């Protein structure tokens, strides 16, 4: 069977983790949006993923929405 395709939010989270690098604690949001957009994700999908993982206390987006920090 073909490999299971992750939900967009799972794929987005994985890419954000990769952007953070080893031991990465945070990623500039504009850079993340540019990379994710280049991979075909819409800003709405990215926003939903950030809201979902923020709700799970896995990451935080600062109030100005310029930086994503992993908890």
pLDDT tens for the 71 residues of the chain, in order: 555 667 999 999 999 999 998 888 999 999 999 999 999 999 999 999 999 999 999 999 999 999 999 99
User: With b meaning 16 or more CB within 10 Å and e meaning fewer, what string describes 7-27?
Assistant: ebbebbbebbeebbeeeeeeb
With respect to residue 1, please indicate whether it lies within any of the assigned structural domains.
no
In the block, tokens 């100005």 appear at 64
Sign of the alpha-carbon dihedral angle for 39, 40, 43, 47: negative
CATH number at residue 46: 1.10.10
Give the domain range for residue 34.
8-70
With respect to residue 3, please indicate whether it lies within any of the assigned structural domains.
no
Please tell me the pTM assigned to this model: 0.86
Radius of gyration of the chain from its Cα atoms, rounded to whole angstroms: 12
């Amino acid at each position: 069977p073909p490999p299971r395709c992750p939900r967009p939010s799972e794929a987005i989270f994985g890419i954000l983790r990769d952007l953070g690098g080893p031991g990465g604690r945070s990623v500039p949001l504009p850079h993340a949006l540019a990379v994710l957009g280049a991979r075909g994700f819409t800003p709405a999908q990215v926003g939903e993923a950030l809201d979902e993982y923020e709700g799970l206390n896995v990451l935080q987006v600062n109030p100005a929405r310029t930086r994503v920090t992993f908890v």
